[in-house]
A and B are shown apart, each in its own frame.
Chain A
Amino acid sequence: MSRVAWLALLAVLLAGFPWIAGEFYVNLTSQIFIAAIFAASLNLLVGYGGLPSLGHAAFLGMAAYLSALLYLKLGLGHWITAPIVLAATTLMACVFGWIALRATGLSFLMLTLALSQVLWGTAYRWVAVTEGDNGLRGLTRPAPFGISLDDPAAFYYFTLAITVLAIWIMARFVGSSFGAALRGTRDQPRRMSALGHNVWLIRWITFVYAGFWGAVSGLLFVYYNKYIHPASLSLTSSAEGLLGVIAGGSGTLAGPIVGAALVMILKNYVSAYIERWNMLLGFVFVMIVIFMPDGLVPGIRRLWARWKAK
């Protein structure tokens, strides 16, 4: 089948999914979409920029908290909060990127971790504003054009539309000349600067861009849960995203989506049967790394090519 046929089939499946699946699965898929945007944005840094970050949850959590606080403290509606949240979180990414990109590699990883831990600690301890460990509750979902998103199917389509748009724009980013330069800075940073590329600026723009899409996933996250807890800002939350990227295949478009789906399914579905789902996630991750070291998507592609060649 051609690429177009596959995409058409996928579109029909995704569009018809709420008609055939139960509420639990519709909700699970909405969560997968949100995790997919999160992982895809992280993949811009990790996979295409060669900048492994352990602090990407900072953007998801910051966006979610800001949205919640603007509603709870100021009573602002979603139409106003959403752009404010996106702008403020992107601005934060500007600052975080400026700090974290003083380094690369392991030091960059530690700086992103440190920055996100500052937010996590604040969310935990600044009880007067964040309610600490209780989290913020009493939130609502938006109702664009008068359609309430409290209905699982309506929320599903809303999230699907945003996810498709987000993934498409990120795919264009990766396939653009800027994306080519970004991959260049990952593979040969010194050569790239000798060729006239401003390596630092390329990385910083990517960091900010990834932060913006992280914020988009954070908005959807808080809309879905109608609740936000410091755990969303935690190291675990960042690591889950990174795990999804690596398990699915970093530096590929489909990889983070597949990886995010895997993590979400294990987390939500399997955890109903096995209490220690984290252990299972770890086990699955180790298996993937052993048998498909560059991730599920490239690994399956290779198997597929070998099978077809037979």
Chain B
Amino acid sequence: MTPALQISGLKKSFGGLPAMDDVALEVMAGERRLIIGPNGAGKTTLFNLITGDLPRDAGTIRLFGEEVSRLQPHQRAHRGLARTYQIITLFPHDTLEHNILLSLLGLSPARWSAFRPLARHAELYTEAHRVLGLVGLAHLTRRPIGEVAYGERRRVEIAMALAQKPKVLLLDEPLAGLSREERGTVKQLIAGIPREVTVVMIEHDMDTALDMAERITVLHYGSVIVEGTRAEVVADPKTREVYLGD
């Protein structure tokens, strides 16, 4: 079986400082993969390289067997790759509905229509409301992002990615900065993502993260140091050394 995401020999350095050093990674279709590692391990950089937000220095990235490392970010999105951001990146002056619309438009041919009013694309609005319903925000569709709570914005982040019905979904610390109850809501939301979607998730908080993933990759200084099942990774002394603080 072809892996959903296959990375080999991936390298990236910033001004001579290696941030990603010969990383190899294979995620099977439908898998729940967790990426952990201390601050500065290169987790977000890895995501940025997968999506093409940053150009890689060397290495290959394959999505379902297709080499995508020379493609622009928008082309990778059209191949079924979606992501969320650790630092919430939404359109703060626009409504929740409009944020989801922009996500839907990204993959819809309607994005090139330059004369018909956006408001007449009723099918996009229906879909946007459905997606906001999925994340429990149907009651806030017309509210500007700037007026809703932080936890709700986190859910909009996820909704924007889910709206695209991605094949591979990259979640960058989806629980960051959330309260205990909010964590519960978002965890449930992530648990409810359809099984055919491959999910790669960065999570800082070991306790929350451990019960969500099937396989875990530990990054340290831009290298994969441990990879395996939950039990294997927890048992590995290297994990303890770099992550759990000896």
Contacts and interface: CB of A to CB of B under 8 A. Distances in A.
Given A184-B91, A194-B77, A195-B102, A177 B160 contact: no
A193 B234 CA distance: 37
Contacts of B90: 188, 191
B44 to A, nearest CB: 13
A151 interface: no
Nearest to B91: A187
B164 interface: yes
Nearest to B124: A177
Contacts of A181: 102, 105, 111
Given A180-B98, A184-B91, A196 B113 contact: no
Interface residues of A, number: 25
A178 B114 contact: yes
Given A177-B121, A187-B91, A196 B115 contact: no
B111 A197 contact: yes
Interface stretch (A35-43, A67-75, A168-176, A274-282): A168-176
Interface in B63-91: 72-74, 77-78, 82-83, 85, 89-91
A175 B120 CA distance: 10
Contacts, number: 96
A188 B118 contact: no
A188 B145 CA distance: 14
B109 to A, nearest CB: 10
A57 interface: no
A192 interface: yes
A173 B111 CA distance: 12
Interface in B108-129: 108, 110-119, 121, 124
A198 B89 contact: no
A172 B105 CA distance: 17
Contacts of B101: 180
Contact of A194 (B83, B108, B115): B83
Given A188-B89, A191-B85, A194-B51, A178 B113 contact: yes
B102 A184 contact: yes
B141 interface: no
A192 B113 contact: no
A191 B88 CA distance: 10
Contact of A177 (B82, B92, B107, B113): B113
Interface string A148-186: 000000000000000000000100110111111100100
Contacts of B160: 195
Contacts of A209: 114
Interface string A27-62: 000000000000000000000000000000000000
Contacts of B113: 176-178
A193 B73 contact: yes
Given A184-B91, A188-B91, A175 B117 contact: yes
Given A188-B91, A192-B106, A194-B53, A177 B83 contact: no
Contacts of A210: none
Contact of B115 (A173, A190, A199): A173
Contact of B102 (A173, A176, A180): A180
B72 A190 contact: no
B93 interface: yes
Contacts of B92: 187
Contact of B117 (A176, A188, A192, A193): A176
Given A190-B53, A195-B77, A198-B74, A178 B91 contact: no
B104 to A, nearest CB: 9
B107 A196 contact: yes
A173 B112 CA distance: 10
A177 B110 contact: yes
Question: A-B pairs with the 10 shortest C-beta distances?
Answer: A196-B106, A195-B106, A196-B77, A178-B114, A193-B73, A193-B74, A177-B118, A191-B89, A196-B107, A175-B117
23 contacts: A172-B116, A173-B114, A173-B115, A175-B117, A176-B113, A176-B114, A177-B108, A177-B110, A177-B118, A178-B111, A178-B112, A192-B102, A192-B106, A193-B72, A193-B73, A194-B77, A194-B83, A195-B77, A195-B102, A195-B160, A197-B102, A198-B74, A209-B114
Given A175-B119, A177-B112, 11 more contacts: A175-B117, A176-B115, A177-B114, A177-B118, A177-B121, A180-B105, A192-B102, A193-B72, A193-B74, A195-B164, A197-B111
Interface of A: 169, 172-173, 175-181, 184, 187-188, 190-199, 205, 209
